[in-house]
A and B are shown apart, each in its own frame.
Chain A
Amino acid sequence: MESTFLSLAHGFSVALAPANAWYAFLGCLVGTLVGVLPGIGPLAGISILLPVTFGLNATQAIIMLAGIYYGSQYGGSTTSILMRIPGEASSVMTCIDGYAMAKKGRAGAALCIAAVGSWVGGTFGVLVLTAVAPPLATIAVSFGPPEYTALLVLGLIFLAYMSSSSLIRTLLMACLGLLLGMIGIDNMTGHFRYSFDLAELGDGIGIVPVAVGLFGLGEILSTPSASAVRDIVSPRLRELLPTRREWNEAAMPITRGTVLGFIIGIIPGSAHVISSFLSYAIEKRVSKHPEQFGKGAVAGVAGPETANNAASTGAFVPLLALGIPTSPITAVLIGALMIHGVSVGPMLVNEHPDVFWGFVASMYVGNLMLLVLNLPLVSLFVTVLRIPYAYLYPLIIMFCIIGVYEVNNSIVDVWIMLIMGVVGYALRKFDCDPAPLVLGLVIAPILEQSLRQSLIMSNGNYLIFFSRPISLGLMMVSIGLLALAAYAFVLHRADWRTRLARAEAGEPER
């Protein structure tokens, strides 16, 4: 424990260096803007801005990109509360009571509670991350190919089980991602796969063109400017402070949201989206006045906003300790570190202590910056929201092109981005969530290598996954989850996914 504190102190010396603190601030500011602007989520924001970090060292790059990630969770609440438009997916639940509070003249209080809840959730997440990630990394060092295979299979099944769309659609998207991830040279045999004699495809399809296409361009194609109507409630600065009664009503939801969000964040899937939904459902269930939900209940803002920020931080635990992405966003962050020559995984804490501890410490600093930044600058963000969408989306398309082209100076990547934009548009039409596709793309090479190595090690005996204690445990959890999912699927029971879809559509709970 003492060594953890010493390492954290070293991390603070890295994070508080003027240049690093500046990039944390920049990341938080840009992230808040990304969260505020509808049509550009954290994934597209991080991917598009990846080239901006090329001139920075690895520590500065990850500090800035992570700032964009958790900053966007803060920013997403602004549009939800002031416009009833979720700036990004995890803010859907905040729309319901946040906007109702705004309509009652309590927009400032809602924003303040969302910001404080986000800060508490984020900071708690970093505290647990500090304590948990290094020992977990020590255990992960002993993982062999069978353990990694079992872990990745569990990740995919967890993703399908926890995904907000249907189980079959999620698995389909993950399979598509796996297939895309297998394009290029096979590392074990040197065979070219599905590269159609294009040299650029030899290295495979990068995550950035796919992510920017699906989430950046795809969103723009699905949003004609005529439909982007803005009805903004402007808060007055003196109304920002909640009353004592509002603070009391927010205290327990913030506490529950913090713990719930962090635990869900560790699990693969769209954790920040799921955590906000579950938090809302729990708050409504435990409330003495459930009839107030939908009409401006403080707990309906405090719980979900806290939970989604705690989940964002929780997602860094498997990333930093195991090198395994649990969401497309953390997958892009892994890609960003690899561009800077840093391999993410259990050895990160020993091989790059500056990056690991500097990053962890920067999250404490970043969360504080966001709290200070969000409330006074809310009128600035409201001004940004007034920019007509017709002028905004051409700018986003330009950044999509730069962001993708600059990674490899490859125009083929830009064409892939364009194709993925069309694919993303079509997937939305058919209610398919593209996030599992991106995750499948990222884990495909790791999964394939560890699976084949495991089978070679055991001379083709697949029981190897059930003969080692860690992989056995992971496989049993996978089988249990599949059984649970199959039970709901066969009996056509309305599980939490159906309820989430109803809530997003604004339908009453049955």
Chain B
Amino acid sequence: MTLRADHIAGAFFIGFGLLVLALSGDLPTGNLSMPGSGFLPKIAAVLTIFFGGVLVLRAGESKPFETLSWTDVKHAGLVVGITAAAVALFERLGFLTTNVLLILTLLVVIERRRLPPAVAYSVGVVVITYVLFVYILKTPLQAGPLGF
């Protein structure tokens, strides 16, 4: 049997629905005349499992899993990693420093751009954005240890 995309997707949704049901153990379902807080979540989880099952059963209509293109996964992984690092630093370093570092790293590490134009671009757009938000739109942005 050929493993198809919908086999994987359907199995994931079935697993997710089962996980939600497991996590809903302590939520009262109640009854029809007084539904509890677990009433609708459990219905939605059962429906997720049901539709996931239908997806698996009709997986023959989907593409073979091996034909899915994953050429962009390295780019996506790098972007997620660098953005995650920026999010982790955001409240400590503040808007200006974090975003200059974020844009600079994306340009230099992923896009292989030369350092001088990358520095100029990242500093320029971040400072313009800061001025736009803080001074023109009067929307305060996260400050860093130096107060900006």
Contacts and interface: CB of A to CB of B under 8 A. Distances in A.
Contacts of A415: 87
Contact of A168 (B39, B58, B84, B111): B58
A455 B31 CA distance: 9
A401 B79 CA distance: 13
B20 A179 contact: yes
Contacts of A401: 83, 86-87, 90, 99, 102
B137 A55 contact: yes
Contact of A398 (B8, B72, B103): B103
Contacts of B8: 430
A227 B76 CA distance: 13
B62 to A, nearest CB: 8
B129 A390 contact: no
Given A182-B44, A418-B87, A222 B103 contact: no
B51 A172 contact: yes
For the side of the interface on B, what is the size category?
35 or more
Contacts of A65: none
A462 interface: yes
A168 B54 contact: yes
A221 B129 contact: no
Interface stretch (A183-191, A243-251, A323-331): A183-191
B111 A225 contact: yes
Contacts of B58: 168
A186 B45 CA distance: 17
Interface string B34-45: 111111110011
A373 to B, nearest CB: 21
B106 A191 contact: no
Contacts of A182: 40-41, 44
A398 B126 contact: yes
Given A172-B13, A421-B80, A452-B39, A462 B137 contact: no
Given A390-B107, A448-B40, A459-B33, A432 B9 contact: yes
Nearest to B140: A406
Contact of A172 (B48, B95, B107, B125): B48
B56 to A, nearest CB: 11
Contacts of B137: 52, 55
B2 interface: no
Given A191-B28, A432-B9, A411 B91 contact: yes
Given A179-B48, A182-B40, A418 B27 contact: no
Contacts of B90: 401, 405, 411, 414
B51 A189 contact: no
A101 B1 CA distance: 47
Nearest to A395: B125
Contacts of B141: 402, 406
A397 B33 contact: no
Given A398-B99, A401-B83, 5 more contacts: A221-B75, A225-B111, A391-B107, A399-B129, A411-B87
Interface of A: 51-52, 54-55, 168-169, 171-172, 175-176, 178-179, 182, 186, 188-189, 191, 193-194, 217, 220-225, 227, 390-391, 393-395, 397-399, 401-402, 405-406, 409, 411, 414-415, 418, 421-422, 425, 429-432, 444, 447-448, 451-452, 455-456, 459-462
15 contacts: A172-B52, A179-B48, A189-B37, A191-B37, A193-B38, A221-B76, A222-B76, A399-B129, A401-B83, A401-B86, A401-B90, A401-B102, A418-B87, A430-B68, A451-B40
